[in-house]
């Protein structure tokens, strides 16, 4: 019998069991209601340290972005290149499969003419057909003063309406400040702000661009943006998991 990567990587096997053991009906309902959900303790410490140490390796990344150059904030991030690390590729596919039903439900509610395929490989083909071929998973690193301005990670015509971030540093120990910020813009109303301080190993799932909101006359679009508040001290690492590719 052929040995699989899950059988020889205990960390990845642990993550698989955690993902498959989650109550995805409840998770999808929460994202539909709030636009986000924080799931604690999803990534083991050894996997986190592997990702953080890999940040300084010269191979495995396609691009480094110094945020100050583009007025994105202050800090640095690196996009992974294809082929992705096996663990990252596996987690990306597993989360896509779990979130795809909600993504299609949102498109139906908002009358957007797109249906996301059940198989992640077919979604990747859809991206390629629209000129989106570049990997988008990334690791972000912030030092003192680091922050990220409010934005949306779209990258092209095709985009998945939900994305993920894994927190790789512990607030109060590795860094101070650096909260995740999520804003909601309701039509003809003031924006609301949600500040999230997650622990090391936590997973945050949140809307990429918008979520449907039910009103008197049906559903309407609530736009969301996300960013990071200023890091007061230390170093803050996160791993962003975006399901669609970027334009080549």
pTM of the model: 0.95
The Cα 215–Cα 237 span in angstroms is 38
Residuewise pLDDT in 10s, the chain (248 residues): 344 555 568 999 999 999 999 999 999 999 999 999 999 999 999 999 999 999 999 899 999 999 999 999 999 999 999 999 999 999 999 999 999 999 999 999 999 999 999 999 999 999 999 999 999 999 999 999 999 999 999 999 999 999 999 999 999 999 999 999 999 998 777 889 999 999 999 999 999 999 999 998 899 999 999 999 999 999 999 999 999 999 98
Domain spans, the chain: 5-247
Q: Does domain 5-247 have CATH number 2.60.120.620?
A: yes
């Amino acid at each position: 019998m052929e040995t699989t990567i899950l059988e020889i990587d205990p960390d990845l096997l642990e993550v698989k069991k955690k993902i498959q053991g989650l109550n995805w009906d409840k998770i999808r309902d929460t994202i539909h209601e709030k636009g986000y959900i924080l799931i604690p303790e999803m990534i083991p410490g050894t996997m986190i340290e592997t990702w953080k140490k890999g940040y300084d390796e010269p191979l495995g990344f396609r691009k480094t972005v110094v945020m100050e150059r583009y007025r994105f904030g202050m800090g640095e991030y690196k996009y992974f290149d294809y082929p992705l690390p096996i663990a990252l590729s596996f987690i990306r596919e597993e989360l896509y499969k779990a979130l795809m039903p909600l993504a299609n439900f949102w498109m139906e509610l908002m009358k957007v003419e797109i249906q996301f395929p059940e198989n992640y490989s077919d979604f990747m083909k859809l991206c390629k057909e629209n000129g989106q071929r570049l990997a988008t998973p990334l690791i972000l690193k912030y030092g003192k003063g680091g922050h990220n301005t409010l934005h949306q990670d779209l990258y092209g015509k095709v985009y998945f309406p939900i994305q993920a971030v894994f927190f790789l540093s512990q607030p109060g120990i590795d860094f101070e400040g650096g909260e995740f910020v999520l804003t909601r813009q309701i039509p003809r109303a003031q924006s609301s702000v949600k500040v999230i301080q997650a622990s090391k190993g936590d997973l945050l799932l949140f809307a990429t661009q918008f979520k449907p909101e039910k009103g008197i006359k049906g559903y309407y679009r609530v736009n969301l943006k996300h960013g990071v508040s200023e890091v007061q001290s230390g170093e803050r690492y996160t791993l962003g998991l975006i399901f669609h590719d970027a334009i080549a």
